[in-house]
Structure 1
């Protein structure tokens, strides 16, 4: 790496608990002079405040936070082709914003950072956005990734379970693919990004659910039990939490047998 080349750190912050930061993440944060934050509007201001709290707790030296508005994303597309196209369009516009921030707010030879919820390698766009910018060749930088504790790991820990069972697979899938991926060859499914409450369509299948929202935060909610018995409760809790906070992020594990049953 040239001494004049910019360095970008993509740092996993964990699922929400400030104690989820790894020592590697703290060390990486202390190397950065500027932190780039893409704000998601007033409804998610609490996430930006939590980032600032984490920085204040772990950094003693001077640093800057540079904020920009996260581009609008079309979330109305239902078919796979439309959804994929909408995501790629959003990422391109996100890359436009991040390219400008890196070029204008980080001097050559400097180190900047993106703080990513959970783990940067799992259902997050930051790495794809940076690859897009690098491919454009408009601003030179190198980047490295610091893994974080994902909401999936936090979910398993909070329910005191393992994600996989002996000799069986486990699959991670977005909510929109749940109908296609269930059942999972006698395995289990971890579901993320389920805005449509796809779990409600699996009642009557003998499924257990381990559900969690706002994992690692003071607002954390946990539910476990046979899906037939707890689906309505989860739906009600989701609606109440969304009304209270303006947003919700949840993750759940679906299991064809209750924990402990190896069949």
Structure 2
């Protein structure tokens, strides 16, 4: 039987890998890499550095395939995501079929596979379609954990809940009864909608890397700084991964 490891590798720092993740890297015969093109070559470089540090001295292979492109401004978001996942499943199938029986392949997933990542859903879909393999999941450090650590803050206030959401959903406002939200996948600077609403923000980009950028403060004071630095960094690097905690100030 073929085995697939889905390994959470943190958000950029090779030293953030857990001991369990390191042990999993040393089991894999083949590492699957979905190439996102020259613009995001840094992301590939970080994966290669993780393998150099942690995969051990034994021989292994890297199997590459182009990452399916995604429409940045779809008319129908859900239909776009469904089409993207179907394309990824076709790529995954080719990669897995390239394994010999008894071999172990590995997907290296940014952060943790459970948080806004499609790898597990796509593997489940392939299994349901009859592709034979077994798979294991190894958790990793998430952007949420890295953000809180970098700002030296607890995520929640005493006796309060925290909601994890996306920029697309935050555009409708804070969830009812919730004073703290962690926001991922925000390409529209949605935090700017909360200027004038007694909200504080803890923002971070390229968390865990040498390029890490952190900004924190009242949204009225720092929203434009975050906007400026975010867009300058994306223009300079060709990509950006960022997240933030928004919190209503006590009245």
Give me the TM-score of the superposition, normalised by structure 1.
0.93
- Looking at structure 2, the residues matched to 184 and 66 of structure 1 have their Cα atoms a distance apart, in angstroms, of 46
Question: Is this contact kept in 2: 1:37–1:65, CA < 8 A?
Answer: yes
Which structure 2 residues correspond to residues 97-176 of structure 1 after superposition, within 5 A?
A: 97-104=91-98, 106-137=99-130, 139-176=131-168
Which structure 2 residues correspond to residues 10-89 of structure 1 after superposition, within 5 A?
A: 10-58=6-54, 59-77=56-74, 82-89=76-83
Deviation at 1:132? 1.3
Question: Is this contact kept in 1: 2:162–2:178, CA < 8 A?
Answer: no
Deviation at 1:187? 2.5
Q: Kindly indicate whether residue 213 of structure 2 is the aligned counterpart of residue 221 of structure 1.
A: yes
Residue 177 of structure 1 aligns with which residue? Answer: 169
Question: Is this contact kept in 2: 1:33–1:111, CA < 8 A?
Answer: yes
- Looking at structure 2, the residues matched to 163 and 43 of structure 1 have their Cα atoms a distance apart, in angstroms, of 33
- Looking at structure 1, the residues matched to 17 and 243 of structure 2 have their Cα atoms a distance apart, in angstroms, of 20
Which string of whole-angstrom CA distances, capped at 9 and with x for unpartnered residues, describes residues 96-116 of structure 1? 011011102x11111000000
Question: Per the alignment, in what secondary structure is the counterpart of residue 229 of structure 1?
Answer: helix
Q: Which runs of 5+ in 2 are unaligned?
A: none
Question: Per the alignment, in what secondary structure is the counterpart of residue 50 of structure 1?
Answer: helix
Q: CA RMSD in A?
A: 1.1
- Stretches of 4+ moved more than 4 A in 1? none
Question: Is this contact kept in 2: 1:92–1:132, CA < 8 A?
Answer: no
Deviation at 1:181? 4.5
Deviation at 1:242? 0.5
Deviation at 1:165? 1.2
Question: Per the alignment, in what secondary structure is the counterpart of residue 85 of structure 2?
Answer: helix
Question: Is this contact kept in 1: 2:112–2:140, CA < 8 A?
Answer: yes
Deviation at 1:210? 0.1
Q: Kindly indicate whether residue 181 of structure 2 is the aligned counterpart of residue 189 of structure 1.
A: yes
Deviation at 1:183? 4.9
Residue correspondences, number: 250
Question: Is this contact kept in 1: 2:163–2:181, CA < 8 A?
Answer: yes
